């Protein structure tokens, strides 16, 4: 296997010219003295990285951060404005639905068209045809023009072609997300197989996907490379960033220092989203909720099974509340309650709340050994005793978090079993 990087970017920038009016473009082209009628927009600014031949790398970044521009430059659809780029090997890219396909051609004709683009003869494509057809599994639609395909059918064919033209580098954009669950799983199994020997680059907004399938993640923000590292590490900061916490390049460096565990500022507690189901008499309200990694004190919504966490709940009293009880439920995606806790069962007395007083409370605990998936937290404030209390506010599913798998092969079930020992005894 080649030791050369399969992709290497050296100080790559891409500037788009933005014109206020279409006529400005024309004016700029025809008027003398080189007068400028455009503004420069840096979609990618000074990005450098290289990717080894058998690496699987996820590119993340919020909408408009420059991911597609970057991938288009790697595939050669766009030319960088400055910098050097080297690509070593053939690329098969599933970038935008439709790219490389002729809408008027049938699926079958498009298979051959794509084969030609990738440098294969008709006879070579004849040999690949069975594999492509069985992977795409779209039956007789293969003889219909692709313009009548559903987006799901389209992605099936496009992916089947992309993996069968023997690329050295496979690039997959969000496109895959339009396929149905079962097909997506089939694609990921294929990606898993290909990543042993090929370079796989993919863009996804789904952090769990990147954490599960990639060896490395690159985070692009406003055209710049913000971080390049282990997906599980980067995912936590990315999630916090997407939740609106004020993370900048310099504060990311500072928060990776585990010794710095600052207390959370009041305005760092996320406000409760509007339109949630709230039960109670509204004498007190839940106004905010946030989850933190208990070790680093960083805001995040991505955890591993049994990880130490803190949940911060902010309340505001509309009336005087004697003997407040603060609590929370953790639910799975089907609404089953996984676990609950409250200030009473933790033997903590909560001070009375005056009218219009606000207060924040923190629960620290180790998450259960939850299996990979999406969970929610429903916080509540009541008053009285556990046996006899009045519910003031119970906000269903106020906070959503993900549990990632820290195992290579995840199994079924709500919980993961730990310290499993298996021996042959006879």
Ligand X SMILES: Nc1ncnc2c1ncn2[C@@H]1O[C@H](COP(=O)(O)OP(=O)(O)OP(=O)(O)O)[C@@H](O)[C@H]1O
In angstroms, the CA 239 to CA 377 distance is 17
Least separation in angstroms between residue 80's CB and ligand X is: 13
Q: Which of 125, 47, 133, 119 is nearest to 90 (CA)?
A: 119
- Token pair, residue 46, equals 């000074």
Closest CA to 204 of 410, 47, 63: 63
Burial class (CB within 10 angstroms; exposed 0-12, middle 13-18, buried 19+) of 14: buried
Closer residue to ligand X in complex, CB, 7/309:
7
Q: Which is nearer to ligand X, 61 or 288 (CB)?
A: 61
**Whole-angstrom distance, CA of residue 3 vs CA of residue 303:** 35
Smallest distance from the beta carbon of 207 to ligand X, in angstroms? 14
Q: Least distance (Å) from ligand X to the CB of residue 193?
A: 27
Residue 223 C-beta: closest distance to ligand X, Å? 7
Nearer to ligand X, 41 or 400 (CB): 41
What are the distances in angstroms from CA 68 to CA 123, 160, 339?
34, 22, 41
Q: Which residues bind ligand X (CB under 6 A)?
A: 16, 18, 41, 43, 61, 63-69
Q: Which CB atom, from 71 or from 111, has the smaller least distance to ligand X?
A: 71
Nearer to ligand X, 68 or 342 (CB): 68
Beta bridge partners of 324: 383
CB of 419 to ligand X, least distance (A): 41
292-322 in b/e form (b: 16+ CB < 10 A) is bbbebebbbbbbbbbbebbbbbbbbbeeebe
Q: Which is nearer to ligand X, 218 or 291 (CB)?
A: 218
For residue 152, the minimal CB distance to ligand X (Å) is 20
115 or 231: whose CB is closer to ligand X? 231
- Shortest distance in whole angstroms from residue 306 CB to ligand X: 33
Question: Would you tell me how many other CB atoms lie within 10 Å of the CB of residue 270?
Answer: 19
Q: How many CA atoms lie within 13 A of 166 on its CB side?
A: 9
The residue among 177, 167, 155 whose CA lies nearest residue 118 is 167
Q: Give start and end residues of each alpha helix (H) in 10-150.
A: 22-30, 67-75, 107-117, 122-136
Which parts of 173-245 are beta strand (E)?
Answer: 199-203, 216-221, 224-229
Nearer to ligand X, 74 or 377 (CB): 74
Shortest Cβ 205–ligand X spacing (Å): 7
Q: Which two tokens stand for residue 406?
A: 């820290």
Torsion of CA 385, 391, 397, 399, to 10 degrees: -70
Tokens found for residue 319: 């009336």
Q: Which is nearer to ligand X, 64 or 244 (CB)?
A: 64
Q: Which is nearer to ligand X, 110 or 204 (CB)?
A: 204
Please compute Rg for the chain using Cα positions. Answer: 26
Q: For tokens 């990285």, what's the residue? A: 49
Scan for tokens 């000074």, then name that residue. Answer: 46
CB of 357 to ligand X, least distance (A): 43
CB of 87 to ligand X, least distance (A): 18
Beta bridge partners of 271: 288
């Amino acid at each position: 296997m080649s030791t050369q990087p399969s992709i290497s970017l050296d100080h790559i920038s891409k500037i788009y010219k933005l014109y206020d009016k279409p006529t400005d473009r024309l004016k700029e082209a025809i008027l003398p003295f080189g007068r400028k009628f455009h503004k420069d927009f840096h979609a990618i600014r000074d990005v450098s990285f290289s990717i080894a031949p058998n690496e699987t790398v996820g590119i993340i970044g919020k909408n408009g951060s420059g991911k597609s521009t970057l991938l288009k430059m790697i595939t050669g659809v766009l030319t960088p404005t400055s910098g050097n780029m080297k690509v070593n090997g053939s690329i098969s890219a599933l970038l935008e639905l439709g790219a490389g396909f002729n809408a008027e051609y049938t699926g079958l004709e498009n298979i051959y068209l794509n084969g030609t683009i990738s440098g294969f003869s008709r006879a070579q494509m004849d040999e690949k045809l069975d594999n492509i057809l069985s992977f795409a599994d779209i039956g007789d639609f293969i003889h219909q023009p692709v313009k009548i395909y559903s987006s799901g059918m389209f992605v099936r064919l496009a992916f089947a072609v992309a993996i069968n033209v023997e690329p050295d580098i496979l690039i997959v954009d969000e496109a895959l997300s339009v396929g149905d669950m079962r097909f997506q799983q089939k694609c990921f199994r294929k990606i898993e197989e290909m990543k042993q020997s090929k370079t796989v680059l993919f863009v996804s907004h789904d952090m769990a996907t990147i954490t599960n399938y990639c060896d490395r993640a690159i985070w692009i923000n406003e055209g710049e490379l913000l971080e390049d590292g282990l997906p599980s590490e980067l995912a936590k900061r990315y999630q916090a960033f997407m939740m609106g916490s004020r993370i900048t390049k310099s504060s990311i460096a500072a928060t990776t220092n585990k010794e710095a565990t600052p207390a959370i500022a009041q305005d760092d507690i996320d406000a409760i989203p509007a339109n949630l189901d709230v039960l109670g008499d509204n004498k007190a309200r839940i106004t905010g909720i946030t989850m933190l990694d208990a070790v680093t004190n960083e805001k995040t919504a991505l955890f591993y099974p049994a990880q130490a966490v803190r949940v911060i709940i902010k309340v505001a009293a509309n009336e005087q509340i004697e003997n407040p009880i603060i609590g929370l439920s953790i639910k799975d995606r089907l609404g089953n309650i996984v676990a609950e806790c409250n200030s009473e069962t933790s033997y903590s007395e909560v001070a009375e709340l005056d009218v219009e007083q606000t207060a924040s409370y923190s629960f620290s605990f180790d998450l259960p050994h939850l299996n990979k998936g999406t969970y929610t937290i429903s916080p509540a404030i009541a008053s009285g005793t556990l046996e006899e209390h009045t519910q003031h506010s119970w906000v269903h599913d106020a906070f959503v978090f993900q549990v990632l798998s820290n195992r290579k092969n995840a199994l079924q079930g709500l919980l993961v079993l730990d310290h499993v020992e298996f021996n042959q005894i006879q």
